[in-house]
Amino acid sequence: MKVLDAKFVQGFIRMCDDGWQQGWHERNGGNLSYRLKEEEVRQVRTALSFDGAWHPIGTSVPGLSGEFFMVTGSGKYFRNVILDPEDSLCLIELDGKGENYRILWGLCHGGRPTSELPSHLMNHEVKKRASKGAHRVIYHAHTTNIIALTFVLPLKSEVFTRELWEMATECPVVFPSGIGVVDWMVPGGREIAVETSKLMEEYDVAVWAHHGMFCSGEDFDQAFGLMHTVEKSAEILVKMLSIRPDKLQTILPEDFRNLAREFKVTLPEKFLYEK
């Protein structure tokens, strides 16, 4: 099978275009990665080239040794993925130690995987373990309203979670474990990868201050839907704050507890503090 004919590749391309259409990926902003299933590797194996050079990841992810990933390329534009996926994307394999990668397909005019590959892979390793293999998608986007809120809300997980939960009733159902927050850090290196992966032990969403959002999901629909829900909640909060600085009414802690019982989700009490 040709790589571009595979269903997972078509889903990857669609998600990139969906993010571009939302306005989350100016220029070469944002990145996406997907951990392939064994049967997906078998589907495209004959179309892959295994004679490429190995390159250091910049970190060690032994829990992902020998795994295959589709990732966006460094410096590539999300708006071009649907037009020329073979230039914009690549399929990579990790070595037996989880310390090096090689390109098996894609980036046909040269290039390398996203500069935030260490963050993606370290978080894939965490989510693979925490979800018992279910999570396969890591997505980073420059979500406008979330970025705006990092300038006016305290950079605390409890505050971001509570404020965004209050904006729409579905929010605590969609992201019941809450949202982690990372203080501003230089992107692309191991340090921000380490801090984000610590949060991903507990959360499926991490906010990068003044930068964007990082989320994990089992498939493309779940990861995109999670990002979309959090960003829409942030948009409501931004609009509310532009009208007046306080709320006349909102969802209260006991309301959240009733919601949790009805929808059979667990909401950590640390987010249900009295204001």
Active site residues: 116
CA-based torsion, 235, 31, 208, 185: positive or negative: negative
DSSP 180: E
Cross-strand pairs, 32: 139
Q: Half-sphere exposure of 20 toward its Cβ, with a 13 Å CA cutoff?
A: 16
Q: What is the dihedral of CA 207, 60, 136, 220, to 10 degrees?
A: 50
Phi-psi region of 170 (alpha: psi -120 to 50; beta: other; left: phi over 0): alpha
Q: How far apart are CA 41 and CA 222, in angstroms?
A: 22
Q: Identify whether the C-beta of residue 68 lies closer than 8 Å to the C-beta of residue 124.
A: no
Residues 6+ apart with CB under 8 A from 220: 11, 12, 14, 15, 34, 137
AA letter at 236 = I
The answer to whether 162 and 44 are in contact (CB under 8 A) is no
Contact 61, 94 (CB under 8 A): yes
